[in-house]
Amino acid sequence: MENRIRSGKAADVMTTEVITGQPGESLGSITARMDRGGISEMPIVDDRGRLRGVIDYRMIVKHRRSQPSMKAENLMYMPPEASPDTPLVDIAEHMISHDLRAIPLVEDGRLVGIVSRSDLVRFLKGVPQIRDVPVEEVMTPGPRTVTQNDEIRTALNVLKDIDERNVPVVDDNRVVGVIGVKDISPTLMRPMERSPRWSRGREKRLTPEVRSLMNEPIVLKRPVDLGTVLDTMVDRGISMVPILEGEGLVGVVTHYDIMEFIARYREREEALVQFSGLEAEPEVFEAMYQSVGRLFDRISSFVRPQTLTAHITEHGEAHDDMHAFFEVRMRMNTRGALFTSTRSGWDLLVVLDECLQSIEIQARKDHERRDHGRR
């Protein structure tokens, strides 16, 4: 499996017939064509076919003042460089480190194709040994959820917090639906309504409940292997699969989880460490990287981390980067295991250290279990 994953190239899975937009095209036109094409990202090219940037649903949702008349050039971003010869493990790592769902492929400055997370999922599905991997090795436990009675703005805030495209809808921990960015974005693209003159606010958007936009859930129950999860994603065209124990939700597997799994197999001298969701001074990031470095020093004798990612959500208004209320959701991948931790509190570095301590305890227990099994 390791050699098969490492040998994959972008050319093996890329799409060459790419739906593109132009810098001066409106978001209303672009999102309509994205909906018709069933895509979530659109490369923006000039008249000569040269890549100028990318537009995706995530950016539209995150931008508070997205309007149908806004031009693509005002919201597009430039992705990392990649070509058809780029290894898929590098593509997966780019998607993690730059928080991307798709990466355009360029030769001599011209767009020649695109690779999406869905393409990598299909590639991994074709690896025979993938059915030997238990879902627990990739699953995100204890995922964030919304209820069907929540307003759409609540679901939107959760999607922004976790930086994902979909979130489960639950009723007493029973999954009753799924709602995602593509379900919500059309409501964001509607022109704002004018309020009456006597109203305090001049413009507003309707805020329906989650139940009005959610989709029927497609779930799997434990025990289940990663191959079955990938089959479900590909066959049903979905990017998140809720995992149940009995009737209760215990975790989810997302396209992001699959990217982390593929990126484990990239040859590297040092682990990929990625923080997302936080805007802070460089000194804060330096302190966080030092904390991660100390963890790696403590566990280096018995485990080799491949990736460590932490998504940080700030709740409420912060008056000080170090004393706001934070939630940290952390994942550490090794070649054969996934360790996760979620903690929250008022001091970011304390919360981060609590997550790292939890990861260390899990890694030590896993090492002891494996060591005992070899005896």
Q: Does position 198 have pLDDT exceeding 80, yes or no?
A: no
* Structural domain boundaries in the chain: 2-116, 130-259, 268-374
User: How far is Cα 98 from Cα 356, in angstroms, rounded to an integer?
Assistant: 23
Confidence of residue 199 (pLDDT cuts 50, 70, 90): very low
What CATH number has the domain spanning 268-374? 3.30.160.100
Q: Which two tokens stand for residue 17?
A: 């017939």
Tell me whether the CATH fold assigned to 2-116 matches the one assigned to 130-259.
Answer: yes
pLDDT of residue 314: 87
Q: Give the predicted TM-score (pTM) of the model.
A: 0.84
Total Cβ atoms within 10 A of residue 171 = 12
Alpha helices in the chain (DSSP H): 2-7, 10-13, 27-37, 57-62, 88-97, 117-125, 152-162, 181-188, 226-236, 255-263, 282-299, 348-374
User: How far is Cα 360 from Cα 341, in angstroms, rounded to an integer?
Assistant: 10
Least confident of 96-105, 146-155, 191-200, 269-278: 191-200
Beta bridge partners of 115: 103
Q: Please give the average per-residue pLDDT across 206-210, as a whole number.
A: 78
> Domain 130-259: which CATH class?
alpha beta
Superfamily of segment(s) 2-116: CBS-domain (3.10.580.10)
Longest CA–CA separation in the chain, Å: 79
For tokens 């227990």, name the residue: 365
pLDDT of residue 201: 47
